[in-house]
A and B are shown apart, each in its own frame.
Chain A
Amino acid sequence: MAQHGGPQQRIFSPLRTALHRFAFILLIFTAFGLMLLGKADTVLIERIRAASADLVSPVMNVVSRPAASINELTDKIYNLAHLYEENERLRRENQQLLAWQQAARNLSHENVRLRELAHYTNPPALHLVTARVIADMGGAYAHSVMISAGSRDGVAKGQAVISDEGLVGRVAEAGYQASRVLLITDINSRVPVIVENSRDRAFLSGDNTNRPLLTFLTADAAVAPGDRILTSGHGGAFPPGIPIGVVSSVSENAVRVAPLFRRHQLEYLRVADYGLQGILSEKRIRDSQAPVNTNATQLSPEIPAGVGVVPAVPAEPAPSVQKPPAGELP
């Protein structure tokens, strides 16, 4: 490093300090600008997020493997220690499951017969993509994981992500070879659900805790701890009937649900392409906006965008049909 002598130092040193201060203030403003930009939730931000996931996915794909094998080792040690109890539990469960299997066979035969009788149209078939969890964005602020499948494999934004146990979340951003999955426990997650026994509809709203809330339940809904919660399929976002969790607690102002999956043990996930594009597709959002200037479609233009479209009120009320007086009947 060259040592700067007297006069040079005297001129440049304050200049450099001023420049540093200016850069600092500029960066602070940039940060707040980014917050506004992120709040606007533009497509651009989403693309950048997807691109950054793509950027690190090759590294994470390799690095997460040793982590997974260490996890396997700890699992093995744990399993060895609990071998006897586990065996007993499985024996009992197997007996129960055999009984259920018989019931399921009877019901599925009956179902086939009834469907034939009722000319039931089958819901669209599921297309599943299996992917590995390569990163867990664990933390106090966001609940999401990264999976090793992207648009290359047919994964798109809004698709349901399920584990062996049940629904895990939905695809928040799909990159080319990696995607981010928003877990149902995240504060931004809302899933239309149904209570299995009572068929009450509700929303499962995450709040960044391990027990998401059941919201928008009707006042007379009968929900008790232990009730199973399934996806309802409303809105076309998720296939109906995917198990999500079990009601864990019911209190005056909150019904909480324990999800079926355990976040720290997520390893392989399946992304379900339901054929329907879901409520989150850009095309649908665009289509649902009211026309701006033309009124050729007879649609009311003053409806806020995104709400849906309703027919406009006719300009002239149709002349009401004159009812013949009751007394003039032949």
Chain B
Amino acid sequence: MKPGVWQRLDVIARGLFPAFSVFVLLLINLLPISVPLLSTASPALALMAVFYWSVNRPDLLTAVAAFLLGLLQDLLMGLPLGVSPLVLLLVQTGSASQGRFFHNKPFSVMWWGFALVAIPALLIQWLLSSALIGALLPIKATMISYVLTAVLFPIVAWVLARAQNSLLRYV
């Protein structure tokens, strides 16, 4: 039986969900939240989602998508242009190639994996941003950001896993 137009549209829409979820997390990152700590260093939510999807569904969050989402992040946050696309691209490619390692393993393994991947990712971001701005940025904020990113990963991963189970089971 040939799938109808609506069915195909449905599959395409579901296929776009991973990229869309990264976009939503980007916007959540932008929310003005009145917690003193979060205004100096925020968790890298987009990085978490890009890692999650590259490990679990690399076919749905491609390198090009990661690149474009990084570009959007730079434009929206006023960061030096080109740094986030590079970082997210490297994370996507690296995680997608190692994705098989995490399959059928407990969640804690993926958590450790992410905590390891986030170190070079944030370091590259810090180094390149510093180089492009022309002054050494305070490393303390990056370290706080790293701790927040590593600690909050299970929450984001849990939400994304729920969405994956309900939306992407047959896609």
B-contacting 9-mer, from A134-142, A273-281, A290-298: A134-142
Q: For the complex, is A215 an interface residue (Cβ under 8 Å from B)?
A: no
The answer to whether A138 and B40 touch (CB under 8 A), given A34-B71, A34-B82, is yes
Contact between B81 and A35 (Cβ–Cβ < 8 Å)?
Answer: yes
Contact between B31 and A210 (Cβ–Cβ < 8 Å)?
Answer: no
The answer to whether A141 and B125 touch (CB under 8 A), given A31-B89, A32-B82, A207-B138, is yes
- Cα of A267 to Cα of B33 in the assembled complex, Å: 10
Q: A31's closest neighbor in chain B, by CB?
A: B86
Contact between A48 and B30 (Cβ–Cβ < 8 Å)?
Answer: no
Interface string of B139-171 (1 = CB under 8 A from A): 001101100000000000000000000000000
Q: For the complex, is B13 an interface residue (Cβ under 8 Å from A)?
A: no
Contact between A138 and B38 (Cβ–Cβ < 8 Å)?
Answer: yes
A116 → chain B closest CB, angstroms:
46
- Cα of A45 to Cα of B75 in the assembled complex, Å: 9
- Cα of A123 to Cα of B135 in the assembled complex, Å: 37
Contact between B144 and A140 (Cβ–Cβ < 8 Å)?
Answer: yes
A306 → chain B closest CB, angstroms:
18
Residues of B in contact with A (beta carbons under 8 Å apart): 27, 29-36, 38-42, 63-64, 67, 71-72, 74-83, 85-86, 89, 93, 125-126, 128-129, 132-133, 135, 137-138, 141-142, 144-145
- Cα of A289 to Cα of B75 in the assembled complex, Å: 29
Contact between B138 and A145 (Cβ–Cβ < 8 Å)?
Answer: no
Q: For the complex, is A39 an interface residue (Cβ under 8 Å from B)?
A: yes
**A-B CB proximity, top 3 nearest:** A38-B81, A34-B82, A140-B141
The 21 listed contacts between A and B (C-beta, < 8 Å) are: A31-B82, A32-B86, A34-B71, A35-B82, A35-B132, A38-B82, A39-B132, A49-B75, A52-B76, A134-B32, A136-B30, A136-B32, A136-B33, A139-B29, A140-B41, A140-B142, A140-B145, A142-B79, A144-B77, A264-B32, A264-B34
A174 → chain B closest CB, angstroms:
13
Point out the residues of chain B lying under 8 angstroms from A188, CB to CB.
Answer: 133
Q: For the complex, is A27 an interface residue (Cβ under 8 Å from B)?
A: yes
Contact between A34 and B81 (Cβ–Cβ < 8 Å)?
Answer: yes
6 more A-B residue pairs beyond the given contacts A35-B132, A140-B144, A187-B133, with a C-beta to C-beta distance below 8 A: A28-B89, A48-B75, A138-B39, A140-B141, A144-B77, A264-B35
Point out the residues of chain B lying under 8 angstroms from A142, CB to CB.
Answer: 77-79
Point out the residues of chain B lying under 8 angstroms from A37, CB to CB.
Answer: 81-82
B-contacting 9-mer, from A61-69, A95-103, A234-242, A248-256: A61-69
Q: For the complex, is A130 an interface residue (Cβ under 8 Å from B)?
A: no
The answer to whether A74 and B34 touch (CB under 8 A), given A31-B67, A137-B78, is yes
Contact between B78 and A140 (Cβ–Cβ < 8 Å)?
Answer: no
- The secondary-structure label for the interface of chain A is helix
Point out the residues of chain B lying under 8 angstroms from A182, CB to CB.
Answer: 78
- Cα of A49 to Cα of B78 in the assembled complex, Å: 8
- Cα of A140 to Cα of B77 in the assembled complex, Å: 11
Point out the residues of chain B lying under 8 angstroms from A39, CB to CB.
Answer: 80, 132
Point out the residues of chain A lying under 8 angstroms from B141, CB to CB.
Answer: 139-140, 208-209
Interface residue total, chain A, C-beta cutoff 8 A: 58
Point out the residues of chain A lying under 8 angstroms from B129, CB to CB.
Answer: 141
Contact between A135 and B82 (Cβ–Cβ < 8 Å)?
Answer: no
Point out the residues of chain B lying under 8 angstroms from A151, CB to CB.
Answer: none
Point out the residues of chain B lying under 8 angstroms from A34, CB to CB.
Answer: 71, 81-82, 85
- Cα of A182 to Cα of B144 in the assembled complex, Å: 22
- Cα of A34 to Cα of B71 in the assembled complex, Å: 9
Contact between A24 and B63 (Cβ–Cβ < 8 Å)?
Answer: yes
Q: For the complex, is A23 an interface residue (Cβ under 8 Å from B)?
A: yes
Q: Which of A35-92 contact B (CB under 8 A)?
A: 35-39, 45, 48-49, 52-53, 56, 59-60, 63-64, 67-68, 71, 74-75
The answer to whether A31 and B78 touch (CB under 8 A), given A141-B125, A264-B34, is no
Q: B26's closest neighbor in chain A, by CB?
A: A56
Q: For the complex, is A180 an interface residue (Cβ under 8 Å from B)?
A: yes
Point out the residues of chain B lying under 8 angstroms from A209, CB to CB.
Answer: 138, 141
The winner among B34, B67, B74, B129 for most chain A CB atoms within 10 A is B34
Point out the residues of chain B lying under 8 angstroms from A214, CB to CB.
Answer: none
B60 → chain A closest CB, angstroms:
14
Point out the residues of chain A lying under 8 angstroms from B74, CB to CB.
Answer: 38
B40 → chain A closest CB, angstroms:
7
The answer to whether A27 and B64 touch (CB under 8 A), given A49-B75, A142-B78, A208-B138, is yes
